[in-house]
């Protein structure tokens, strides 16, 4: 059993160990004040955010955060996070910046790719979270304008020698106006042999 498999099996602090060894990353828009525009209805081919790993890698989600800003949606904002055993991005989209959570590894090469606004490959994964929040940007009215998702335990996504894996996030507000949101995510990316 590998060192990391032992941590995982025995309830050790896997995420801290992976951070110290340079395997944990953060992503957000390179311009801190930029937002993404959400959809006005659900379609599995229009995810807001995709974090995707190639074959022979594990993706371990740690957190995903969305905060309403700017344009308010017509109806409640629906947030869905799912895991998929395919490389979800089909085409287009913006490849986003990723930064290692350990500055010692600032020049490390990242194996994952992150896209916003991409066209997704048709097909459904497994939902990890679904939530609705009120469509508003004014916290004075008591509306929760931001949502932070953290998995309830370790999720190992991908890990195949033949297909990749993806963490996929959907955001939409039914009606005529898609809301705009700030976003960010944190995750680990590891070669599969680390858990053999």
Per-residue pLDDT of the chain (196 residues; tens, 9 = 90+): 577 777 777 777 888 889 988 999 998 876 666 788 888 878 787 888 889 888 888 899 999 998 877 667 667 788 899 998 878 787 888 888 888 888 888 777 778 888 888 888 887 788 999 988 777 666 656 666 778 899 988 888 887 777 778 999 998 887 777 778 888 999 999 888 887 7
Tokens of 105: 């590894």
Q: How far apart, in Å, are the Cα atoms of 195 and each of 41, 107, 147, 148, 156? A: 39, 24, 31, 28, 10
Q: Let me know if residue 2 belongs to a domain.
A: no
Give the three-class secondary structure for 118. coil
Residue 104, φ and ψ in degrees, nearest 5: -60, -25
Check residue 182 and give its pLDDT. Answer: 84
CB 121 within 8 A of CB 87: yes
Q: Let me know if residue 17 belongs to a domain.
A: no
Q: Let me know if residue 72 belongs to a domain.
A: yes
Provide the residue range defining the domain that includes 105.
Answer: 24-189
Say what the pTM is: 0.86
Count of the separate structural domains present in the chain: 1
Q: Let me know if residue 73 belongs to a domain.
A: yes
Q: Let me know if residue 15 belongs to a domain.
A: no
Sheet holding 94-95, edge to edge: 94-95, 113-116, 49-53, 165-173, 77-84, 126-133
Q: Let me know if residue 156 belongs to a domain.
A: yes
Q: Let me know if residue 7 belongs to a domain.
A: no
Q: Let me know if residue 5 belongs to a domain.
A: no
CB 185 within 8 A of CB 65: yes
């Amino acid at each position: 059993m590998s060192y990391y498999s032992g941590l995982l099996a025995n309830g050790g602090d896997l995420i801290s160990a992976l951070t110290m060894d340079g395997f944990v990353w953060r992503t957000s828009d390179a311009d801190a004040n930029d937002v993404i525009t959400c959809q006005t209805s659900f379609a599995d081919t229009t995810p807001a955010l995709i974090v995707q790993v190639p074959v022979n890698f594990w993706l371990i989600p740690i957190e995903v955060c969305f905060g309403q800003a700017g344009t308010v949606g017509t109806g409640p904002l629906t947030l869905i996070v799912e895991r998929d055993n395919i490389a979800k991005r089909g085409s287009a989209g913006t490849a986003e910046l990723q930064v290692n959570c350990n500055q010692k590894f600032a020049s490390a090469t990242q194996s994952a790719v992150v896209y916003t606004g991409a066209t997704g490959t048709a097909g459904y994964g497994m939902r990890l979270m679904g939530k609705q929040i009120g469509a508003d940007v004014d916290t004075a009215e008591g509306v929760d304008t931001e949502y932070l998702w953290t998995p309830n335990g370790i999720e190992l996504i991908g890990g195949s020698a033949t297909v990749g894996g993806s963490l996929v996030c959907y955001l939409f507000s039914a009606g005529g106006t898609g809301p705009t949101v700030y976003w960010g995510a944190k995750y680990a990316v590891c070669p599969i042999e680390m858990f053999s």
